Amino acid sequence: MKKACLLLEDGFYQEGLSLGAEGETIGEVVFNTSLTGYQEILTDPSYKGQIVCMTYPLIGNYGINSQDVESSQLQVEGFIIKEKSKIYSNWQAEKSLEEYLKENNIVGIEGVDTRAITKHLRVKGSMRGIISTTDFNLESLKEKLEKSPSIVGRDLVKEVFNNQVYEWEQPLISEFNPLISPQGKAVVIDCGVKFSILRNLKVYFEKVIVTPPVISLEKILEFQPQGILFSNGPGDPEPVSYAIDLAKKIIANLEKEKLNLGVMGICLGHQILGLALGAKTYKLKFGHHGGNHPVKDLRTGKIDITSQNHNFCVDSQSLPEDIEITHINLYDNTPEGMAHKKLPLFSVQFHPEAGPGPFDARYIFGRFKEICLREKT
């Protein structure tokens, strides 16, 4: 087995074994607390620019298949695990995790103390790191890290969205409710959208149209949608000015009653709507990444265990008076949802589609359909 090393920008250093492709990779190191779902995590566009450390110790035991993907390619910059499973076993499995990483040129490391890495990030905060299988000189590695860009102020959305306009036709097969009748049309602003979001929308909407965020409102309205959804995506929302400007135009037209449709945001889309409404965003110390975050719906008192993946947060103190906080994270009381008191607009910071994670919050897509069709009638 080939040797590999991990260096964080504050000097934290570990050595282990190479996982996946050989070479070097740099990104912001974050930890994910999901027990399963490593394939969905690897292909989630929200992880662009980041190296993911899995807290669950054994990874790769059920292999890789062609169904459990959240985008058309692997998105993480690197992968850190405690132990790679020596075998994989699942009726859908087509290849091993090792083969998957090598095929997609993803550099990773195994055999390191992921508990120590996680504790370090919780205390110090997420930071840039480098994984290398070729260079073990600390001064050389440190110099490369210092020259690498920060995730703050960097537009990562432009690196993951699809430039094409297309219709999504694949429904969600598992957990499908035959009592739900798909109606209407939803347009998804792709800031790095996960396939699971599109699959869930297809359960509720007859047509789901996906567009890039660099699109005019006039072009969107040509599709005659009943709803517009701003998707998840990677990194800092502030540099994504084109999506924020689009959201501002939509909100302005809703206020002037020139539009009759519903608007929703998920994760980065939630932050983009917050900025468009005049709020501010800030970077969390180590972010929320995993499938075990309890979120309370302040309107109903209901608590959902949710899937999350974000490093930035809307500052609730900066929101205008006509915006209501609807959800909070019970770990740190950060806002997890908001709704306009007058307009048909709401958003959530968590991932109602999961992929991976619990399905507690899938009903959110039903809420979106309700406000879209209510506004159209």
Which residues are the active-site residues?
267, 351, 353
**How many Å apart are CA 286 and CA 289, to the nearest integer?**
9
Q: Which pairing describes strands 185-189 and 227-230: parallel, antiparallel, or unpaired?
A: parallel
**How many Å apart are CA 172 and CA 184, to the nearest integer?**
17
Question: Which residues have C-beta within 8 Å of that of residue 143, sequence separation ≥ 6?
Answer: none
Quick check: helix, strand or coil at residue 217? helix
Helix, strand, coil % (nearest 5) of the chain? 25, 30, 45
Q: Which pairing describes strands 185-189 and 207-211: parallel, antiparallel, or unpaired?
A: parallel
Type of residue found at 169: E
**How many Å apart are CA 149 and CA 192, to the nearest integer?**
20
CA distances from 308 to 74, 179, 288, 322 (A): 18, 28, 6, 26
Type of residue found at 349: Q
Strands (E), the chain: 3-8, 13-20, 24-32, 50-54, 58-59, 78-80, 83-84, 107-110, 127-132, 166-168, 185-189, 207-211, 227-230, 262-266, 281-297, 303-314, 323-329, 335-340, 345-348
